[in-house]
Amino acid sequence: MRIFFIIIVFWVNTLGQTFLDRHWLIFNKENSPISSNIINSIDTDSEGNYWIVTAPEFADTQIVYNGYLHKMKNNNWIIFDNNNSPLDKNIVEDVAITADGKVLVATVNGLYILSNNNWDSLNTSNSQLPDNFIYRVTIDKQNRYWLGIPNYGVGVYDNGSLIFYDDNNSFQGIADFNFIEVDSSNNIWIGSNNFGLYSFDGNYWRRRINGPFGSGVNEPNMIVGLSVANQNLKWVSINILGGGWKIGYTEDDSTWFYFDHNIIGLDSLNRLSYEGVVVDKNNIKWFGSRDGLIKCNNFNWSVLDSTNSPIPSNSFGVGIIDQFNNKIYGLANLGLIFYNEDSVIVSSVEENYHILNNFYLLQNYPNPFNPITKIKFSIPHSAVVQINVYDVLGKEIKTLLNEYKQAGTYEVEFSTGSFGDASSLPSGVYFYRMISGGYAETKKMLLLR
């Protein structure tokens, strides 16, 4: 199906304020339009776009419906919802980018495919999929789509043809998958909580690490992440039922070597994160955990945590590596965090970023809006804050704020029906400007009638 793709660009100029220092960058609801601080999936494409899947949050045991697919480049954001895509709130589970630039979006309603601003779909009504709940999507070296469906198994889709693997034609427990990964030889690797780690060479499934169940083996290994290093070496994260964890690697896919918290130098037995293993361009291995970001460089181990870095939490979730060698992770319900030993880069042109003060003015939300939008800002010390709204000719429309404020974060509201003849404001671009002491910043917003 063809859906006209409406691109809404959030003109954001808060990139400096998101830096914790030049090595760390964080995006969350306080400094960006991201809909939720819980990150389910991340991927990047060849054009430098970041594709981010957020999950619902909870407030007083109630679900807050704010899980969406996002696209971000140079801190310009697009949120995909039912206004500009077939995606609704809280249906997206995973995202992956094909070699030819298609965006595959796994959802509870099937697989959606975005190509050249057109949407297509794959579901039970037009394929042999046994169910529409696609939890994981991965692309192999032949550009085939591997789709994980909970309680059913894993299917591979190739130009209209679907082969589905379940307990009967693969291995017991394939529907218990945590991830689907592809190695340098195009072998498929599937890890589970209860049935171990398996690989598939196109003909045979082989068990590589045992799990708690299956074949009478009782090794309580929950395989939560895998990544492929140079020379096709595999690195895995393993949580142990009953407490503890270990990291394993293999050179021949059969013989495994393991490292536990004692070797790494940690006293804690907290868990490794699901899909948190990544290998960067320098062949350094990184493992997300609840104890921080674990680094392995030539079998020398170290940990980045809140005691030796400015990060607000030690709990790292799903992770990837981008083209700039940034390590990008979801961070413990606090948003999306970037790390780079050299300096974080988030655009196609390298820039010298500097730590700015803690003044910031966020993009209004919603944007576009009608009739009400909200503007959040922060000041690091007590000061007079003035926020004005202008039209495209520079004529002042309204003063939203002109007050002395204590240090902190605040929010003001702009309503087209709250004053004078503002309800008759035409659709178009408007500007809002914040001035406080020596700080001044202006942003765009869009009114749509």
Average pLDDT over residues 390-410: 89
- pLDDT of 218 above 70: no
Tell the residue number behind the tokens 């045992």, with chain if given.
Answer: 210
Domain 16-339 has CATH 2.130.10.10: yes
Residues 169-206 have pLDDT tens digits of: 999 999 999 999 999 999 999 999 989 999 999 999 99
Please give the Cα distance from 56 to 315 (Å, whole number): 18
Share of the chain above pLDDT 90, in %: 64
User: CB-based contacts of 436: which residues, under 8 Å, 6+ apart?
Assistant: 359, 379, 383, 384, 385, 386
pLDDT band at 18 (very low <50, low <70, confident <90, very high): low
Please give the Cα distance from 216 to 207 (Å, whole number): 13
DSSP-assigned beta bridge partners for residue 185: none
- pLDDT of 361 above 70: yes
Please give the Cα distance from 216 to 166 (Å, whole number): 20
- Check if the beta carbon of residue 260 is closer than 8 Å to that of residue 268: no
Residues 294-349 have pLDDT tens digits of: 999 999 999 999 899 889 999 999 999 999 999 999 999 899 999 999 888 876 43
Please give the Cα distance from 325 to 345 (Å, whole number): 9
Q: Which residue has the higher pLDDT, 98 or 368?
A: 98
Average pLDDT, the chain: 87
Q: What is the pLDDT of residue 12?
A: 36
- What is the distance of C-alpha 132 from the center of its chain? 22
Output the CA–CA distances (angstroms, integers) from residue 375 to 23, 31, 369, 438, 445, in the order listed. 28, 11, 12, 20, 10
Q: Which residue has the higher pLDDT, 260 or 169?
A: 169
Please give the Cα distance from 428 to 434 (Å, whole number): 20
Q: pTM here?
A: 0.75
Task: Kindly state the tokens that stand for 438.
Answer: 């020596």
Highest mean pLDDT among 85-99, 338-352, 401-415, 434-448 belongs to 85-99
- What is the distance of C-alpha 2 from the center of its chain? 26
Q: What is the pLDDT of residue 351?
A: 35
In 3D, which of 342, 338, 432, 328 has the Cα closest to residue 385?
A: 432
Q: What is the pLDDT of residue 363?
A: 82
**DSSP helix/strand/coil, 175:** helix
Return left, alpha or beta for 282; rule: phi > 0 is left, psi -120 to 50 is alpha, else beta. alpha
Phi first, then psi: give them for residue 18, nearest 5 degrees: -85, -10
Which sequence spans correspond to the domains of the chain? 16-339, 360-447
* Multiple choice CATH, 360-447, 2.170.16.10, 2.60.40.1930, 1.10.599.10, 3.40.50.2300: 2.60.40.1930
Residues 90-140 have pLDDT tens digits of: 999 999 999 999 999 999 999 999 999 999 999 999 999 999 999 999 999
Q: What is the pLDDT of residue 421?
A: 47
Q: What is the pLDDT of residue 198?
A: 97
